Amino acid sequence: MGIKWDEFFITGDPLILGSQIAILLTMIGAVAGITYLKKWKYLWTEWLTTVDHKKIGIMYIISAVLMFFRGGMDGLLMKAQTARPEMEFLNSQHYNEIFTTHGVIMILFMAMPFLIGLMNVVIPLQIGARDVAFPQLNALSFWLFFSGAMLFNISFVIGGSPDAGWTSYFPLAGKEFSPGIGNNFYAVALQIAGIGTLMTGINFIVTILKMRTKGMTLMKMPMFTWTTFVTSILIVAAFPIFTVALALMTFDRLYGTHFFTVSGGGMDMLWANLFWLWGHPEVYIVALPAFGIFSEVIATFSRKSLFGYKSMVFSILGIALLSMVVWVHHFYTMGSGPAVNSFFSITTMAIAIPTGVKMFNWLFTMRKGRIKITSAMLWALAFVPCFVIGGVTGVMLAMGAADYQYHNTLFLVAHFHYVLIPGVVFAVFAGLYYWWPKMFGFMLNEKIGKWHFWLFVIGFNVTFMPMFFLGLNGAVRRAYTYSAESGFAPLFMLSAIGSIVLAAGFAVFCYNIYWSIRYADRNISSDPWDARTLEWSTASPVQFYNFAKLPEVKSLDPFWHMKKKNEGLTLHDSEIEEIHMPSNSWVPIYMGVIFGIAGFFLVFEWHIAAAVAGIGIFAGLIIRSFDYNEGFHVKKDEIHRIENAWRKTEGEVHDHVS
Amino acid sequence: MKKMLLSLTAILPMLILSGCNMVVFEPQGPVARSITELINWSLIWMLLVVVVVFGLFGYIVWKYREKPENKDYEPPEEHGSTLLEIIWTGIPILIVIALTIPTVKTLYALEEAPKGYEEKEPITIHVTSADWKWIFSYPEEGIETVNYVNIPEDRPVLFKMTSASTMQSFWVPALGGQKYTMPKMETELYLVADNPGSYEGQNTNFNGRGYADMKFEVLAQTQEDFDQWVDDVKDTAPKLTEDEYEGLLKPTHLGRLTYSNTHLEWVNHADPNSKAYTNPELYRGHGYQGKTFEEDDNYKNENPNVIEGHGEEESHDSQENHGGDHHGH
C-alpha cells in the first residue's frame, strides 16, 4: 500500500507536539486509573454496552462537553492569533485548520450531541415511556457519532486536519487544491457521525409517535417533545442530502470523479447548494430543541403554563418548513440573478415572523408569573436580548442586496455566533442546570452557576459585539492576519479579551461539575423546581425502568395538575406489574469501533485495508440479525424495593427552591 | 441582567454613531450608496424591534420577578390571547414587507448600470482571480494588470469575472457589494466611482494559505489621467507570454504587474471548455499526502483537440477587438 510513515504523525509544531504528549499521557492515565480502580467491568456493563436512554444521553453530554473544550481551544487560538495585527503566533495553514475544526466540532460534535443527549435523557420521561422505540439503535447512534467525532479529532495529530472551512467549499476542498488527506477526514468522519444522527432522527420520530403514555395526545405534548419531534423530522429530511454530498465528495477525493472539480465538467456550485440544503435546516435542527428547552425552563420558573401553546406549535412547524427553502441566502453573491435572490430574501425574512411569535409568547409566559431567577432561568432570560440581536442582524443579512456588503465578513460571523450561542449554548446550559438533578440526584451549585453565567454571558458579548463593527468596516472572516493600517486592532483586541472571559466562564462551569459531584447535597426532592412535566414525577436519579406505573395524562403540564389535584402521585402495591426491558448489547460499540477503523483506513486511502474492515461491518450486521435476545423482566419484588426506597424519603428531603 | 441590558443599550447607539467611519457606511459611488441606503432603512426598523422587545423584556422581568413580598402569589392559569397573538404576527409581517420592497428593487437595480449612468458608455474589464492574486484585463485597451485596477471616475465599469482556480469573491466595499468569481463561469458586476481616489478591494471567500493577503487596489482617475495611463502602459509595459502566464497562475503572492496585452488571447477561464490550469503538486503541504489525479483537460496535456475546440469556443463570445490577434496555441 506504500504507507508513508514519515508523513503519518504531524511534526514540527510545538503546540501539536504538546497535544500529542498530552493525549498520550491522558490515555495512559485513564487506562491505568480504570485498571487500578478495577472499573473495567463496571464500565463495560453499565455504560459501554448500555441501551438505557438516560445513560446514552449522559454519554452524549460528556462527549459534548469534551468537544466543547476542544472547539473552544480552537476558538481561543484564533482569538489569540488575531489579537494584534500581523501576529506570528500561528501560520496561515495552522489557522485555516483551526477555524475549520472549530466550526465542524462546535456544530456537529458539540451542539448536536449536547442537544441529542438532553433529548435522550428527557424525551422518554416527558412522554411517559420506559425507553426509546429502538434502544439498541439508539446505542448504535451514539457509538457512530462518537466514532466519527474521534476520527475527526485525531486528524490534528495524525495525518493533518481538514483546512477548507467547515463549509468545505469546492473546488478548494478537492484534490486539485487540497491534495493532503486532511479533507478526507471531513468527508469520512462526518459521514460516520451523520449516519448515527440520521438513526437518532428516525428513532425519535417513532418514539414520539408510538410511545406516548395514555392520554397524551399530540397537542398535550410538552414543548420540548414537540421541538424534538419536529427536529427529528428535519433530521430525516436534511441529513440524507449531506450523506449524498459527502459520498460524492469522497468519490471526488478518493477515486477521481468530477462532481465538484474544476476539471472534467465538475460543478463547484453544486456542492454549495447541497451543503446548504442540509446546512440551513441543520441550523434549525440545533435551534428548535433549544427553543423547546427554553419553553420548559421559562414555564417552570414563571410558575405558569406556556403562553400561546398552539401558536408555539404552529410556529415550530412554520420555521421547520421555511428552513428547507432558504438555503440560497448563504450565497446570494453567487450571481443567481435578482429573481432567485428576491425569492430567498423573502423566505428568509419570513422566518423572523414565527420566531417573533415565539419570542413574544415567552415574554408573555413570564408576564403575571412569579419569576424565580435560578441559574437555569438566568440562561433563558439572557437568551431573549442576545437572541434578538442575532435575529435582527439575521433579518439584515437576509436582505439579498444588503448582504452583498455583509457576506463573508465578520458581521456575518458575529451574527451567527449571536444566534448559535444564545440559541443553543445558553439552552444546553439552561437544560443542564434544569435536568441535572433528574439525571444524577443532586443539583449543580447555584452560586457557582451564577458565576458561570455572568462570566460566560459578559464574555460572549464582549467577544462577538465588536465583530459586527469590524465586519462593517471591511474585516473578512477566516483571514489569519490583518495589517496595522487597517485600523482593526483595538476591536480585535477587545474581542480577544472577551474570549478569555468567555473561557473563564466555561472553566467555572467545569469547576461547578467537579464541586457538585464532590460536595452537593444528595438528599434532594425528585421535583426540586416544582416543575410541570412528567419527568419530575419519578425518582431522581431515574430508576432504570423510568416509571413503575405508566402515568396517565389529562391535560397540558400533567405533573403540575397531578400535584394540584393530588392524584396519581402514589403507588399501590396492587398496581405493580412486571416490566419488560431490553438487554444490553455489545454490538453497537463494536460497530462504532469497526466503523472508526474502516473510516481511518479510508481516510488514508488504504483501500484494501478499508475493504477488510468493511467486512467487519457486515459481520456486525449479520450478528445483529441473528440476535434473538428478547430482553428481560423486572420482578415485582425489585420494583417494590426500588419504589419504596425513593418514595419513603420524599417527604423529608431538603427542598431547595420552592 | 440589568448590567447586560445597560451595556447592550449603550452599544447600540454606538453602532449608529460610529457608523460614520465604517467603510460600508461611507459609500464612494452610486452602487455602494444604494446598498447603504437599504442598510440604513433596515437599521431603523431593526432598532425599533430591539427597543420594543428589550423594553418589554426589562419591564416584565423586573415587575414579575420573585420577591419576598410575593412569595404567596400564585400566577393565574393563562393559555394565550388570540388578539395579542394576531398583533405580534401581523406587525412583523408588515415590517418584513417594508423591508422586502426596497430589497427587491435594489436587487434588480444592482444588475444594471446604476441610475443616471445608463447613457454613459461602460468600460469592460475582465477580472480573473487566481491563487492568490487578481488579474485585470482591459480587452478594449489591450492591457493587463495584476493586483491593481485603474478605472475612470464617474463612468460605469462592467467587471466580467471568472476564476482560474477556486471560488473567490470580488469585493470593493467602498464602491459596491461583492460577487463570486468561479472557474468556467462568468459573473458580472457594475461599479462606479464618484471621485478620483484609491479604494481597497479584496477576496472574501476563503481559498487556502494565501487568502488573507489577496487584496488589490482600485484607483479611480479622471478620464484624462486614465487615458494617459493606458497610453503609457501600451508604450512601456512588456508583453505577457503564455509561459509567463502559467507562472503567474501558480499559487504565489505577487506584487503589481503590468502588461501591454491580455491573456484573453489564449485563454478565457470563463469559457466552460477552457483548459484547467490546476496543478495539485503545487499545493502539497504538511501532513499525509493523498493520491492526485491526471485530468484530461489540464493545460499540461498536449491534446490538440481540446485546445483547438477551445479556440473556436472563445471566438464567438469575444466581440471585443482582440479577435484580430487571436490564435490557437
Under an 8 A CB cutoff, do B35 and A405 touch? yes
Instruction: Measure Cα distances from A530 to A376, A386, A564, A606 in Å.
Output: 14, 27, 11, 57
Instruction: State the smallest CA–CA distance between residue B232 and chain A in angstroms.
Output: 31
Report d(CA A337, CA A340) in Å as an integer.
6
Distance, first Cα to last Cα, chain A: 66
Report d(CA A443, CA B130) in Å as an integer.
57
pLDDT interval class at A207 (50, 70, 90): very high
From the CB of residue A334, how many other CB atoms can be counted at a distance below 10 Å?
23
B-chain CB neighbours of A100 within 8 Å are none
The answer to whether the CB of A136 falls within 8 A of the CB of A51 is yes
Q: With left for phi above 0 and alpha for psi between -120 and 50, is residue A568 left, alpha or beta? A: left
Report d(CA A178, CA A185) in Å as an integer.
12
The answer to whether the CB of B61 falls within 8 A of the CB of B54 is no
Q: Which is nearest to A107 in space by CA: A152, A51, A170, A50? A: A152
Q: Is the pLDDT of residue B309 over 50?
A: no
User: Considering only A19-23, A45-49, A110-114, A365-369, which range has the smallest mean pLDDT?
Assistant: A19-23
Report d(CA B125, CA B162) in Å as an integer.
11
- What is the reported pLDDT for B286? 82
State the amino acid at position A336 in one-letter form: S
CA B18 to chain centre: 24
Average pLDDT over residues B216-221: 97
Instruction: State the smallest CA–CA distance between residue B73 and chain A in angstroms.
Output: 7
- What is the reported pLDDT for B319? 39
Q: Is the pLDDT of residue A303 over 60?
A: yes
- What is the reported pLDDT for B20? 57
- What is the reported pLDDT for A458? 97
Q: Which of B24, B112, B293, B306 to mutate to test the interface with A (most CBs of A within 10 A)?
A: B293
- The b-or-e profile of A472-504 (16+ CB within 10 A means b, else e) is bbbbbbbbbbbeeeebbbebbbbbbbbbbbbbb
Query: What residues have CB less than 8 Å from B284, skipping those under 6 apart?
Result: A179, A180
Residue A282 cell numbers, joined: 441543520
- What is the reported pLDDT for B12? 54
Homologous superfamily in CATH for domain B123-283+293-323 = Cupredoxins -  blue copper proteins (2.60.40.420)
Nearest to B99 among A268, A395, A476 (CB): A395
Report d(CA A204, CA A212) in Å as an integer.
11
Strands B187-191 and B168-171: unpaired
Average pLDDT over residues B307-325: 40
Q: Is the pLDDT of residue B189 over 90?
A: yes
Q: Which of A3, A88, A371 to mutate to test the interface with B (most CBs of B within 10 A)?
A: A371
Q: Is the pLDDT of residue B30 over 70?
A: yes
Q: Which is nearest to A452 in space by CA: A426, A416, A424, A420? A: A426
Summarised one tens digit per residue, pLDDT across range A220-231 is 999 999 999 999
pLDDT interval class at A632 (50, 70, 90): very high
Q: Which is nearest to A135 in space by CA: A537, A639, A631? A: A631
Summarised one tens digit per residue, pLDDT across range B100-109 is 999 999 999 9
Q: Which is nearest to A220 in space by CA: A567, A532, A564, A529? A: A532
- What is the reported pLDDT for B312? 41
Summarised one tens digit per residue, pLDDT across range A306-339 is 999 999 999 999 999 999 999 999 999 999 999 9
- What is the reported pLDDT for A15? 81
Report d(CA A328, CA B177) in Å as an integer.
17
pLDDT interval class at A11 (50, 70, 90): confident
Give the CA angle between residues A7, B252, A481 to the nearest 5°.
Answer: 85
Tally DSSP H helices, then E strands, for chain B.
Answer: 6, 11
Dihedral of CA atoms A511, A514, A519, A524 in degrees, nearest 10, equals 100
Q: Which is nearest to B57 in space by CA: A386, A506, A436? A: A386
Which string of DSSP letters, residue by residue, matches B117-128? -SSSPPEEEEEE
Average pLDDT over residues A101-128: 96
Under an 8 A CB cutoff, do B66 and A372 touch? yes
- What is the reported pLDDT for A575? 87
The answer to whether the CB of B260 falls within 8 A of the CB of B234 is yes
Locus of grid cell 444490553: A584
Report d(CA B73, CA B66) in Å as an integer.
9
Under an 8 A CB cutoff, do A363 and B39 touch? no
Under an 8 A CB cutoff, do B77 and A305 touch? yes
Average pLDDT over residues A591-606: 96
- What is the reported pLDDT for A13? 78
- What is the reported pLDDT for A19? 81
Distance, first Cα to last Cα, chain B: 70
Nearest to A92 among B39, B42, B212 (CB): B212
pLDDT interval class at B2 (50, 70, 90): low
pLDDT interval class at B70 (50, 70, 90): confident
Could you tell me the residue ranges of all domains in chain B? 2-60+84-109, 123-283+293-323
Which string of DSSP letters, residue by residue, matches A108-141? IIIIHHHHHHHHHHHHHHHTT-SS-S-HHHHHHH
- What is the reported pLDDT for A156? 85
User: How much helix, strand and coil, in percent to the nearest 5, is found in chain B?
Assistant: 40, 20, 40
> For residue B109, what is the nearest residue in chain A, using CA coordinates?
A338
Q: Is the pLDDT of residue B302 over 50?
A: yes
Report d(CA A83, CA B90) in Å as an integer.
44
Q: Is the pLDDT of residue A655 over 80?
A: no
Instruction: State the smallest CA–CA distance between residue B255 and chain A in angstroms.
Output: 16
State the burial class of residue A520 (Cβ atoms within 10 Å of its Cβ: 0-12, 13-18, 19+).
middle
Q: Is the pLDDT of residue B10 over 60?
A: no
State the maximum Cα–Cα separation within chain A, in Å, rounded to a whole number: 81
Summarised one tens digit per residue, pLDDT across range B90-131 is 999 999 999 999 999 999 999 999 988 988 999 999 999 999
Under an 8 A CB cutoff, do B64 and A368 touch? yes
User: How much helix, strand and coil, in percent to the nearest 5, is found in chain A?
Assistant: 70, 0, 25
* 3 state DSSP class of A532: coil
Report d(CA A525, CA A657) in Å as an integer.
10
Give the CA angle between residues A181, A187, A190 to the nearest 5°.
Answer: 130
Under an 8 A CB cutoff, do B280 and A179 touch? yes
Q: Is the pLDDT of residue A265 over 90?
A: no
Residue A437 cell numbers, joined: 438533578
Average pLDDT over residues B11-25: 66
Average pLDDT over residues B67-85: 89
Which string of DSSP letters, residue by residue, matches B271-299? STTSPB---GGGG--SS-B------TTBT
The answer to whether the CB of B270 falls within 8 A of the CB of B310 is no
- What is the reported pLDDT for B7? 59
- What is the reported pLDDT for A153? 93
A-chain CB neighbours of B111 within 8 Å are 337-338
> For residue B295, what is the nearest residue in chain A, using CA coordinates?
A263
The answer to whether the CB of A333 falls within 8 A of the CB of A403 is yes
Q: Which of A3, A96, A176 to mutate to test the interface with B (most CBs of B within 10 A)?
A: A176
User: Considering only A87-91, A613-617, B256-260, which range has the smallest mean pLDDT?
Assistant: A87-91
Show the DSSP H helices in A155-222 as ranges.
Answer: 182-210
Q: Is the pLDDT of residue B25 over 60?
A: yes
* 3 state DSSP class of A268: helix
Strands of the B197-203 sheet, one edge to the other: B148-152, B215-221, B197-203, B168-171, B179-181
Q: Which of B12, B288, B296 to mutate to test the interface with A (most CBs of A within 10 A)?
A: B288
* 3 state DSSP class of B12: helix
Q: Which CATH topology does B2-60+84-109 take? A: Helix Hairpins (1.10.287)
B-chain CB neighbours of A490 within 8 Å are none
B-chain CB neighbours of A409 within 8 Å are 204
Report d(CA A486, CA A480) in Å as an integer.
14
The answer to whether the CB of A323 falls within 8 A of the CB of A405 is no
- What is the reported pLDDT for B313? 41
Residue A294 cell numbers, joined: 427554553
Average pLDDT over residues A213-222: 95
Instruction: State the smallest CA–CA distance between residue A126 and chain B in angstroms.
Output: 20
Summarised one tens digit per residue, pLDDT across range A450-480 is 999 999 999 999 999 999 999 999 999 999 9
Residue-averaged pLDDT of chain A: 93
Q: Is the pLDDT of residue B295 over 90?
A: no
DSSP B21: G
Residue A479 cell numbers, joined: 483571514
- What is the reported pLDDT for B324? 36
Residue B126 cell numbers, joined: 475582465
Locus of grid cell 411569535: A357
Question: So what's the architecture of A39-585+629-652 in CATH?
Answer: Up-down Bundle (1.20)
Report d(CA B170, CA B162) in Å as an integer.
10
- What is the reported pLDDT for A51? 95
Q: Is the pLDDT of residue B3 over 60?
A: no
Nearest to A461 among B4, B34, B64 (CB): B4
Under an 8 A CB cutoff, do A338 and B111 touch? yes
The answer to whether the CB of A200 falls within 8 A of the CB of A138 is yes
Its sign, for the CA torsion B311, B314, B319, B320, is negative
- The b-or-e profile of B136-151 (16+ CB within 10 A means b, else e) is bbbbebbbbbbbbbbb
From the CB of residue A345, how many other CB atoms can be counted at a distance below 10 Å?
29
The answer to whether the CB of A254 falls within 8 A of the CB of A248 is no
Bigger pLDDT: A387 vs A571 = A387
Report d(CA A321, CA A27) in Å as an integer.
45
The answer to whether the CB of A184 falls within 8 A of the CB of B290 is yes
A-chain CB neighbours of B290 within 8 Å are 175, 179-181, 184, 253-254, 605
